[in-house]
Structure 1
């Protein structure tokens, strides 16, 4: 891959543009969100409510303020203002950013993209909630030869999804609960639209990588796994990523003052993961555990 140099940008001019997105994190040196070493931009806002979500700070599209007790000095009076807090106990989650500034941020890591074959992945939340910005942003990155990817559940109109997908070298596409009624009730997802969108992207010849989160009590059932595999068998796709459930998101729920409903759910065992892997491989899929 050949990366061209990013031009110098006059941020004072660009800041006046209306091309803004709301993000909550830029994670550098990621190895689990596409090929090579990647910079992951996390967009804020998600229309779904997966009980197992590990990024609860991504759900609300609004900018939130949280307090970290371990840093709090218990000032009197407390202003409860992230900008005024002397210890940093009050922290703002989410910020608005322009195309130009975000481009500068991710191109700081261009050397890692070049040496590892990596690039930039847009995640969330759900990036499709800010699809217009994301499409323009990835188009700019591709001008420099940056490998681009998104992580998505694919639940949006095809008119929003397809232009963005066409700017991607990889589309990491989550297939969660196949049963339409259960998907709507549990995660507020239009599963028939998700599956139609998946087929549309594959028909476009795009590099779509399906991912199946292994969530005990939800997706990790024989019926759901067989339904996912049967659906994929109707396509040319022969890769599958398995994403085992974990408890890493629990501290974030406490920070936000919200209940973590999965606290009694154990991660899938090695035998359970191996069983799913064997089922998929027996049907001719190349399986990767993890992203």
Structure 2
């Protein structure tokens, strides 16, 4: 019998060299991606297709070119070339970096890390698609005394995931749709592997912080939250982050000529969030809103 579920796409990227990665942004002075003041490196490429993704420019591992209408001069010399555009209306999304280049860039913020107890967080996209580079990079930072973290959906072979997680001070681990079939069909996520990886990380003494995206129609329902809390109950986890849905990513979809599937979907109300927070706190966890 042929399954109607979409085939699972593995966490792989075209360029798997350990000394070079493809990123699309470096965000400095972040307070929401780990402890203290963070510099967040966004890796390009993601095998998942979450309808609510706020970073559609992260999905393709390829370098893309986009046009920003507000900057366009309507000049006749336009060849849709980001290198020749005089106003910056055309720009590339994505660039290749070496270990040395990325280290030099993030260490510009070292004084803020030292003062605040912060550090560097690797995000995406999905950083596990370029895990070998990320592992080497974070190992370098750890040797310099810089705190490290990753944000991930956790869907990759443990042989690739565990070495990276082992050089992190914390792993910010998203738990989304718990139903196996729906997670595969909607998100292209192998949920049994995700949960097994989560257990392995905790068993290996790695600090794992589960994050629950609160997405109306997908994750923000009593059954899904109950399944997450039941999964976490026997594990040594003390803190849970709740990530309310928002519409901030919609303009990016228009720039990339992509369809924003969440158009018109209302964000959770303050009462929705307060109710869920109370439920998670009653289960014994410290709750952070926004992560």
TM-score (norm 1): 0.93
> Following the alignment from structure 1 to structure 2, what is the Cα–Cα distance between the partners of residues 69 and 209?
39
> Following the alignment from structure 1 to structure 2, what is the Cα–Cα distance between the partners of residues 117 and 22?
27
How many residue pairs align between the two structures? Answer: 275
1:54 is paired with a residue whose SS is: coil
> Following the alignment from structure 2 to structure 1, what is the Cα–Cα distance between the partners of residues 166 and 268?
35
1:5 match: none
1:46 match: 46
Q: How does 1:55-66 map to 2 (within 5 A)?
A: 55-66=55-66
> Following the alignment from structure 2 to structure 1, what is the Cα–Cα distance between the partners of residues 236 and 26?
33
1:238: how far off? 2.2
Tell whether the 8 Å contact from 2:18 to 2:133 is kept in structure 1 after alignment.
Answer: no
Q: How does 1:18-29 map to 2 (within 5 A)?
A: 19-29=19-29
1:201 match: 201
1:67 aligns with 2:79: no
> Following the alignment from structure 1 to structure 2, what is the Cα–Cα distance between the partners of residues 18 and 127?
13
> Following the alignment from structure 1 to structure 2, what is the Cα–Cα distance between the partners of residues 168 and 260?
33
> Following the alignment from structure 1 to structure 2, what is the Cα–Cα distance between the partners of residues 70 and 211?
35
> Following the alignment from structure 2 to structure 1, what is the Cα–Cα distance between the partners of residues 34 and 244?
17
1:172 is paired with a residue whose SS is: strand
> Following the alignment from structure 2 to structure 1, what is the Cα–Cα distance between the partners of residues 61 and 174?
21
> Following the alignment from structure 1 to structure 2, what is the Cα–Cα distance between the partners of residues 18 and 59?
20
Tell whether the 8 Å contact from 2:18 to 2:132 is kept in structure 1 after alignment.
Answer: no
1:8 match: none
1:108 is paired with a residue whose SS is: helix
Moved over 3 A (4+): none
> Following the alignment from structure 1 to structure 2, what is the Cα–Cα distance between the partners of residues 87 and 237?
50
1:77: how far off? 4.0
Tell whether the 8 Å contact from 2:171 to 2:208 is kept in structure 1 after alignment.
Answer: yes
2:219 is paired with a residue whose SS is: coil
1:102 match: 102
Tell whether the 8 Å contact from 2:18 to 2:136 is kept in structure 1 after alignment.
Answer: no
Deviations 1:123-181 (A, max 9, x none): 00000000000000000001110000000000000000000000000000000001100
1:115 aligns with 2:115: yes
1:285 aligns with 2:285: yes
2:236 is paired with a residue whose SS is: coil
1:31 match: 31
1:283: how far off? 1.1
Structure 2: gaps of 5 or more residues: 1-16
Superposed CA RMSD in Å reads: 0.9
> Following the alignment from structure 2 to structure 1, what is the Cα–Cα distance between the partners of residues 207 and 100?
27
> Following the alignment from structure 2 to structure 1, what is the Cα–Cα distance between the partners of residues 56 and 119?
25
TM-score (norm 2): 0.93
2:190 match: 190
1:109 is paired with a residue whose SS is: helix
2:165 match: 165
1:127 match: 127
1:270 match: 270
Tell whether the 8 Å contact from 2:45 to 2:126 is kept in structure 1 after alignment.
Answer: yes
Structure 1: gaps of 5 or more residues: 1-16
Q: How does 1:207-246 map to 2 (within 5 A)?
A: 207-246=207-246
> Following the alignment from structure 1 to structure 2, what is the Cα–Cα distance between the partners of residues 203 and 278?
27
> Following the alignment from structure 1 to structure 2, what is the Cα–Cα distance between the partners of residues 202 and 150?
15
2:24 is paired with a residue whose SS is: strand
> Following the alignment from structure 2 to structure 1, what is the Cα–Cα distance between the partners of residues 261 and 207?
35
Tell whether the 8 Å contact from 2:216 to 2:268 is kept in structure 1 after alignment.
Answer: yes
